[in-house]
Structure formats: C-alpha cells, structure tokens
C-alpha cells in the first residue's frame, strides 16, 4: 500500500517535468519540422513506392517458383488420374488379366512422377487432413496401400473415392501454389489457369466413371447422375477458362486434336444417353485410350498456359526493376538534399530524441511496476477488497452472514510419504490448477492456503447473499469430482481424497499489512468450519446446522444428518449430491 502511494507523487512530478521539457523544445522542433517537411514528404513517397515495387517483385518471383511447383504437382496429378482410370477399368472388367500390363505401367508412371517431385509443400490447413499428407513418403506409402485394396473392392465408387481423396487435395495445393491478388495484370490468366486445372480434374472423373459403362452396359440412374454432374462441371470450367483468357482459348484450339474432340464428344453422348449396343473390355479400353489422349492434350495446354504466365510475370518483373532503379535514384537525391539542409540542427534533434527515448523507457518501466503491483494485490486479496485498497480504504468489515469452507487433502501424508518431492509438488500443482479455475464460476473468494488445507468464502462481495451457501456447496461438489480424478504418480490407489467443512454465520474480515499483505477472516464461524473439516470423513462434505438451513431453502441438495461422529456435540450434516448435477457421494 505504501508503495502504491509513493508512486503517485512521482507520476505527477514526471508529468510536470515532461510538460516543461516539451515547452522548452517546442521552438526547436518547429524549426526542424519546417526545414525537413519537403524532404520528408519526398522520402516517404519514394520509400513507399519503392517498398511496394520491391514487394511486388518478391511476390512475382515467388509466383514464378509456385507456378513451376504447380507444374510438377500437375504431372503427379495427371499420372494419378491415369492410374485411377485404369484401376476403374480393371475393376469394371472383373480384373481382366489383359489389363495387367497397363495397370503396372500406370503404377510405374505415378511412382516416377512422385520421385521427380522436387519438394513437398503442404497446404496451410493440412493439419485437418489425413496423416499421410504430411510428407511425400507417407503419401507414397498410402498410395501403395490403395493399390493393394483395389483387387478386393467390387464397387466402382469405392475405387474412385479412394483415389479422389488424394487427387482433390493435390489439386487444391496446385491451385493454392498459383494465386495472385485481384486487379493485377496476370490475375485473369491465373483464374483461367485454375479453371483449366479444375476442368482436367472433372475430365479425369468422367474417364473413371465411363469405364464401367463401356464394360458393363447402361448405368444406374445414380451413377448416370454422377457422371453427368462431372461432365457438366468439366464443360463449365472449360468455358470459364476460355472466357478469362483469350490466349488460353487459342492454346486449347491449337493443341487439342479436333478429331479426338469429336470422338470424345460422341463417346460422352453415348454415356449421357445411357444407350450402348455392345459393351466389353475392348470397348472400355477404347474409351480409356481416347480419354487418356484427351487428358494428355489438356495437360499440354496446362503446361503451355503456365509457361505463358511465367513469361508475363517476367515482363512485369522487368518493368518493376526499372521502377526500382528510378525510385532509388530519386530517394538518394532527396536524402542528400534533405541532409544538407538539416545538418546544422541534426545534433540538437538527436539529443532531444535521446532524452525522449529515455523518458519513454522510464515511463514504461513505471507502468510495468504499477501493473505488477496491482496484479499481485489482486491475487492476495478478494477483488472487492483489492479495489478498496486502491482507493486507500482498508477498514475491517463485519459480515452478518458469510459461508466459510475449509477443504483438506485427507490422505496428503500418505501420498507425500510415497512420492518424491518433485512428484508431490506436481500433484499439488494439478490440484491448485483445478482449484483456481473453478473459483470464478461459483462466485467464491479465495482466502488462505496452508499446506494441504485451503480456505474459501462466499458472501463477501454481496452481503447476505441468498446464494452464498449454495455457491460454496456446489463448489465443494465440483472440486470433489474433479480433484478426485487426479492420481499421484507411481502410487497404487493414490487418488487424491478431499474432505470439506462448511459453516455459515457472522465473521469479521480485514487486511493485515504486517509482513506479507493478506486478507483474513476471523470469528466463531471460521473456527467451527475448521473443526468441521477436521472431523469430516474423506470424500465427504460436512456442513453445520446453519448451512443446512440455508441449503434446505434451495431444495437442490441431497443431505442427511450425520450420527456417527462422537467428537462433536453439535448436529452436523453431509451433502450427498445436487439434484442438478451428476455428482453424488455414491458415485465417488
């Protein structure tokens, strides 16, 4: 308290001194500011432009790297799509051995593409993905597991879904690797690039589903709708690709073979019409080969589109680098001129700034000390009392009705004898952590702690509170349940056993400032509560008649009279549980 009072005069003196110093240096600062304003404006303007340009160059260089990475990732996705298609055909043909060479070749191509992948960059939300996305090796291992499962699966959807989970995530990563802010020159080209990636993804699913149609004949309505949705999405993404990029549309026209496009469209029409004259493994292979060729064409369009984007980015970087050179020259000239004009008053301004920094540091230190003092005080005494102490009011108070509770670890001596000091303190830390966290929800104030015994009270903040006894009782039952689950290390049957003593009545409270500042409660109410905890059975809550009377009016608690205690001349009761809680003595 004395320390808080001593800080206040210093704070006032500091502020007065600061005002005087500011007044003395005001004229000096006006000269500095008036002299340097034109130069500062030019320096700031050029610095901001230089910073923005440098950031743009860095972003575009990063874009080049990311586009290259997306291309490498696209190769893996491409071969993974081809593998999915041949696996679907293999299943649809009832594991026809004629397809074995194709299956093995698809496996090799995917494995080689994975091996060539320079580095594995996971998405920022990868923590929510399956564990096998953590690294390239774990992904490859999961892929081998999928291949083993394919021969045991009989439903096409299951095979497609096994591969699609991996493909979808890789596609998302591929798109994530090539992003740019809106309104930049290459934004539309990147959007088109994204649309093309999505189109290729949907075409891959078309290819997988269509294999079943050409090997088994007309599809069920559910499977037909599945195919049609992917077909429509592929066409939509392809149309969006062309609308966002004229260059991309031109690349598509140049690369995709018109005859192949016609064949693919005819095969698609047969599936959509759900009508086929002859279905066989050969027809499935015919469908697969044509769709594979179409996917290869789309892959080439993707590669050429990425190369075009890289060239556009290179042009933008070259322009930005020229701007950087100009900005640097202007900035240097501005700084030199500004320095020449203001060099006569530089030393004075520097001295003023040093004084200012020193005062700011002292002010910050003072504020930290004040904050630490207030924090320490709030931990030593209840919040209401802490506020009064800040207002220099620490007179003792009489509380006509307050509920006091003592809680003790009944088997503390046994636990301490069987554990090391470090284990004992770890156990106490766990108990006190629960204890501190549960104080606020139950409106209970911490009063004292000594060894294995804690003291709390309710009714200090709001006098004659009708809920004080109920809050303490609920707090006791809550502690009984939560602390009872704590197990002492290396001790068989070493769970913590609490016992409680609760009493309601009048008490006197006040702050003792001799030595360590602390808040204390005195009176017969406190003494009797201490006696109740001393005579209480382990894992029980013992209350006095006055507390029993308070809780009876609540009608929420299960209580019974204790008739096995010969140490007390008064009547006491045990709280067995709460009607609104699952906690009861029988449970414990």
| Residue 451 token pair | 């060894």
Mean pLDDT comparison of 138-142, 170-174, 483-487, highest-scoring range: 138-142
Note the helical H segments in 187-280: 187-216, 221-244, 246-255, 258-273
| Cβ count near 110 (within 10 Å) | 23
Going through 35-110 in order, the beta strands assigned E by DSSP cover none
| Residue 109 token pair | 């191509």
C-alpha to C-alpha distance for 200 and 423, rounded to whole angstroms: 60
C-alpha to C-alpha distance for 260 and 45, rounded to whole angstroms: 57
In 3D space, the residue among 21, 27, 111 whose CA is nearest the CA of residue 354 turns out to be: 21
* Mean pLDDT within 498-521: 84
Q: What is the pLDDT of residues 17-51, one digit of tens each?
A: 555 556 556 666 666 677 777 777 877 877 787 77
Taking the C-alpha atoms of 205, 210, 216 and 221 in order, what is their torsion angle to the nearest 10 degrees? 80
| Cβ count near 96 (within 10 Å) | 17
In 3D space, the residue among 461, 457, 471 whose CA is nearest the CA of residue 402 turns out to be: 457
Domain ranges of the chain: 51-324, 393-578
In 3D space, the residue among 291, 322, 234, 241 whose CA is nearest the CA of residue 56 turns out to be: 322
With a cut of 90, say whether residue 541 has pLDDT above it.
yes
| Residue 186 token pair | 């290459």
Q: How confident is the model at residue 177 (pLDDT cuts 50, 70, 90)?
A: low
Predicted structure pTM score: 0.44
C-alpha to C-alpha distance for 160 and 92, rounded to whole angstroms: 12
Check residue 527 and give its pLDDT.
92
With a cut of 70, say whether residue 369 has pLDDT above it.
yes
Mean pLDDT taken over the chain:
78
CATH of the domain spanning 393-578? 3.30.70.1230
Percentage of the chain modeled with pLDDT above 90: 11
Q: How confident is the model at residue 581 (pLDDT cuts 50, 70, 90)?
A: low
Q: How confident is the model at residue 501 (pLDDT cuts 50, 70, 90)?
A: very high
* Mean pLDDT within 103-119: 82
With a cut of 50, say whether residue 5 has pLDDT above it.
no
């Amino acid at each position: 308290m004395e320390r808080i009072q001593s800080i206040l005069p210093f704070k006032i003196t500091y502020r007065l001194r600061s005002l005087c110093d500011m007044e003395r240096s005001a004229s000096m600062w006006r000269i500095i500011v008036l002299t340097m304003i034109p130069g500062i404006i030019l320096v700031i303007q050029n610095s901001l432009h230089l910073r923005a340009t440098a950031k743009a160059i860095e972003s575009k260089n990063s874009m080049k790297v990311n586009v290259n990475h997306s291309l490498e990732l696209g190769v893996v996705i491409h071969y993974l799509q081809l593998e999915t298609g041949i696996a679907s055909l293999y299943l649809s043909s009832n594991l026809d051995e004629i397809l074995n060479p194709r299956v093995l070749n698809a496996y090799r191509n995917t494995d080689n593409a994975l091996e060539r992948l320079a580095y594995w960059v996971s998405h920022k939300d990868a923590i929510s993905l399956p564990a096998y996305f953590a690294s390239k090796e774990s992904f490859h291992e999961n892929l081998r597991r999928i291949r083993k499962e394919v021969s045991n699966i009989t439903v096409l959807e299951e095979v497609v879904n096994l591969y699609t989970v991996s493909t979808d995530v890789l596609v998302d990563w591929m798109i994530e690797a090539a992003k740019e802010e809106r309104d930049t020159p290459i934004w539309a080209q990147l959007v088109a690039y994204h649309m093309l990636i999505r189109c290729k993804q949907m075409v891959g699913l078309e290819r997988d589903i269509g294999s079943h149609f050409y090997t088994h004949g007309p599809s069920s309505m559910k499977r037909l709708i599945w195919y049609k949705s992917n077909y429509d999405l592929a066409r939509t993404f392809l149309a969006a690709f062309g609308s966002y990029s004229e260059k991309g549309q031109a690349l598509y026209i140049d690369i995709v073979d018109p005859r192949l496009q016609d064949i693919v469209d005819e095969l698609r029409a047969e599936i959509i019409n759900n009508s086929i004259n002859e279905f066989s493994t050969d027809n499935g292979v015919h469908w697969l080969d044509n769709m594979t060729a179409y996917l290869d064409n789309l892959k080439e369009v993707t590669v050429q589109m990425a190369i075009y984007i890289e060239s556009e980015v290179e042009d933008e970087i070259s322009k930005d680098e020229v701007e950087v050179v100009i900005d640097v020259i202007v900035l240097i000239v501005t700084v030199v001129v500004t320095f020449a004009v203001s060099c006569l008053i530089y030393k004075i301004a520097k001295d003023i700034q040093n004084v200012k920094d020193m005062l700011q540091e002292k002010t910050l230190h003072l504020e930290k000390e004040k904050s630490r003092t207030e924090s320490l005080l709030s931990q030593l005494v209840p919040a209401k009392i802490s506020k009064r102490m800040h207002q220099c009011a620490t007179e003792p108070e009489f509380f006509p009705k307050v509920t006091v509770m003592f809680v003790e670890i009944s088997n503390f001596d046994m636990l301490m004898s069987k554990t090391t000091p470090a284990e004992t303190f770890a156990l106490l830390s766990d108990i006190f952590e629960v204890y501190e966290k549960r104080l606020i929800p139950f409106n209970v104030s911490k009063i004292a702690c000594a060894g294995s015994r804690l003291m709390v009270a309710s009714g200090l903040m709001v006098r004659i509170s009708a809920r004080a006894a109920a809050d303490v009782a609920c707090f006791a039952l809550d502690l009984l349940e939560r602390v009872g689950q704590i197990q002492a290390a290396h001790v068989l049957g070493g769970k913590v056993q609490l016992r409680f003593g609760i009493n309601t009545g009048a008490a006197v409270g006040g702050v003792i400032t001799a030595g360590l500042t602390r808040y204390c409660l005195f009176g017969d109410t406190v003494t009797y509560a201490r006696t109740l905890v001393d005579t209480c059975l382990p894992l029980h809550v013992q209350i006095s008649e006055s507390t029993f009377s308070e809780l009876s009016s609540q009608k929420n608690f299960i209580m019974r009279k204790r008739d096995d205690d010969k140490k007390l001349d008064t009547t006491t009761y045990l709280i067995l549980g709460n009607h609104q809680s699952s906690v009861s003595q029988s449970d414990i």
